[in-house]
Structure 1
Amino acid sequence: MANITKSNLTVVLYNNFPIILLFISVINDFDFNNLGLKYFSFNFSYILIFCYTLKRREGLGYIYLFMAGLFNDVIAGLPMGISSLLFLLLCGFASYLRNITLRPNLVKDWIFFLITILVLNSLSYICLVFIFDYEINYIDKIVNISFTFLFYIIFRYFFDFIEKFFGRYRNAG
């Protein structure tokens, strides 16, 4: 009986791992400036959403993405709905790539991810500067885009490892 309960808990954790990780990353909002690394930041949420939307057909769920975006806006001090819009657009770009791709290729996914984050940051800039008259530090944005792009490969391998390690629970439950 304990084995069935342990298996069900593992299935639930496996199926909800990306959602739990998304909310932890959004609520945590860890800043590397506390470590003395001034020009080091990346958007883990973008990487997570893009990778898991490509991997799983069911994705992360639009309601969860919208709620995570609202949490991100409150914590980061952005106007409400900006991050939700960007998260949903990111999910849409990844879904589009998943539907048009016959054979997944890491390099092509990586380049498409760069194009996607450039489009998202452009939309974010337009909304924040022209509509809300928000002050943006351009160096921080460039650094964030660069490190997000570079760390995509590392986290993609990490998420692939998680999927393979817990792959036996994919169809269970």
Structure 2
Amino acid sequence: MSAALQWPIDWETNTAQAAAWQVAQGKCVTRPATQAEITPATGQSSPAASLAFYRKHTESLLKRYLYASMQVGRAPSILSDPVARGWASSRPVRTFEDAVIFVLDIESCLSKLGSLDRELLSRVVLQEYTQAETAILLGMSPRTVSNRFALALDRLTERFLKANLLVLPH
């Protein structure tokens, strides 16, 4: 005889029969766990799946911001004070004035983020450090940097969507 356990019922396919067998054996029958019980409450809602789709678009907007701010003759101050928002941000940049408005709009969105979010976005996207190098520079674990960078991109994406810098497809 084998030393392995022998199950009287195939548990994966016949859960109703398994519950009946447990009742017959005098064992307690428990209900399946709900999603709220499985997922720990962290106080933060997970980002919408649509925001994860826009992460690359948000990164490309930040790179465009770096280029436009250099053209305007202004260093990209990701840690700047809040600036008033312009109206022409959703249009392609064609003139010097459009470039200035675009830079001010991006800086306005960036100024609404927390300092750690701005630091992560600055290091990874604008300065092109890897996430591992950023972790060393900030004294964090690479996994923490990876998770917080994704959340920072999602927060910035939300700001861009509210400011009409990114447009959802219909």
TM-score under structure 2 length normalisation: 0.28
Which fold has the larger relative contact order, with Cα–Cα distance below 8 Å and residues 6 or more apart in sequence? 1
Greater share of helix: 1
